[in-house]
Each structure stands twice: as C-alpha cells, then as structure tokens.
Structure 1
C-alpha cells in the first residue's frame, strides 16, 4: 500500500474518531440536561418554581460552549420547530429533522460542520436540541497533507 493511501486512511480514521467523540460528548450533555430537568421537576414539585430549572439548563449549555473548543453552536427548538434559544451559531431546523424521533448526526463536509440532533422525547417533551461542531481543523489537516504530498512528488498515480 503506498504512503498516499496509508496517510489518507489515517486522516479518515481521525475524522471518524472526531465524529464518535463529538457524539459521545453530545450524549453526555444530553444526560446532564436530563438530570438537570429531573432535579428541576423535583424542585418545582417542592417549591412551585419552574424558571430555576430552565435557567440551570441554559447555564449548563453555556458552560459546555466554553469548555468544548469544537462546539460551535447550540440551538433549542420547541416541539413545533420554533427557535427558543440559540447560542453561537444557529442551526436551521428542517422539516425532515422535525419528523425525527431519534438522535441523528449529519456531517457536512462543505460547511465544515457536524450537526447532532436530539428529539424532544429526550427532554420531557419540552424542546429539541441541535449541537453544531466545527470540523474545520480536520479539513485543514487534509489540505495540508495533500499539499505536502504534491510538493514532495509522492502522489501515487497522479491521485493527489
């Protein structure tokens, strides 16, 4: 196997690992939001205060944006698809996503992003969540790799 294909496979694996890691981190955030909602439900039952739970979920999302360098945006939508809150980059919710009843992730190479959608069933039926991750660093690695191969003259069969 020539070095071009070997290096290309390594980059593909890097992209796949990035996607898997982002999906795992997104699932962790969803679990934290669900736990926050559960705590808020208990507090609401005890004190009758609904707004503190919403505020704590928003703080949790803001903290996630600060901690994850690749998380480019978070959008919250109601059950009908109306935007409730957007942090950083806003994601337009398509009719196809409105019909989804399970978590979905889509990689958009041209726009250098990975969008992960979670339906309202995951959040006590209150909202839908879209997380947008930047994949521009992976594209930069692939461009850099291709340029190095071109400059070194190691492109097998003119495939670079």
Structure 2
C-alpha cells in the first residue's frame, strides 16, 4: 500500500460522520494502493487495514472539517457532503467529491455555498423545504465512477 508520507502520494480523506460510501472508498483505495484517513467526532468500526487510519477528533464545532482542511492539498481527494469543507479543500487544490458523485470545482462550489446558505435561511425562517432525496444505488455508482476518475487523473498528473 502507498506511503502517505511520500511527497507525491495521493491520499483520501473521508468526512465520515453520516458518510454512506465509506466501503466504496475503501474498495477503490485498495485497488490503487492509497492511504485513507477516516475522520469523525466519535469512534466507528472500520476494517483493520494498515492503510485505513481512524482519526477521532474532539466534538468541537467543525473539528473534523478543520482536521481535513488543514491537510488537504493537490494530492488529496476529499469525500464529503459538507459544502463549506468542500470549498476549503478545493481552494487548497484538493479534489472534493460528494457521496452522490458530484465533484465540487472552483466554478461549482460558490453556487453550492450560496444554495446551502439560502436553504438554511429559509429553514430558519420556518419554511418547509423538505430534506435531501434518499441515497440511491445510482448515487453510489456515480460516486464510484467519480472517485475512480479523480484518482486516475491525479495519478497521471504525478506520473504514477
């Protein structure tokens, strides 16, 4: 498996609280020999593999997000549904992918933040906005494809 301390190493970071695609991330990481950091505010059971590292942060506000954002760089793929975290990671040069396969980019993250803030304001004003649509097999498949494409692109850019 890959050495996360190598300067050209591609590293995966999973914002693990409520992440529905941890197992898929592990399968793709195993195929490419990548190190995975699973970051959460509490202990969770994970496969016992030397390339999967559990990181339990304090339960402070945004502690997991801060841990990931401080380490994200151009050799990172971040799996998150958290738009502000995705924005921070994209600004650091990382690839950020939502569990439904949607890639956050420089051009899309601004609109995603604006939409998130608008929906939050509407909920705070008492509007009934409904929740997110249920996670589907199509979302899982889209995620697998997006993660694989991101890793292949990063490997090509690094000559790996």
Shared fold per TM-score greater than 0.5 = no
Rg: which structure is higher? 1
TM-score (normalised: structure 2): 0.32
Q: Looking at secondary structure, tell me which structure has more helix per residue.
A: 1
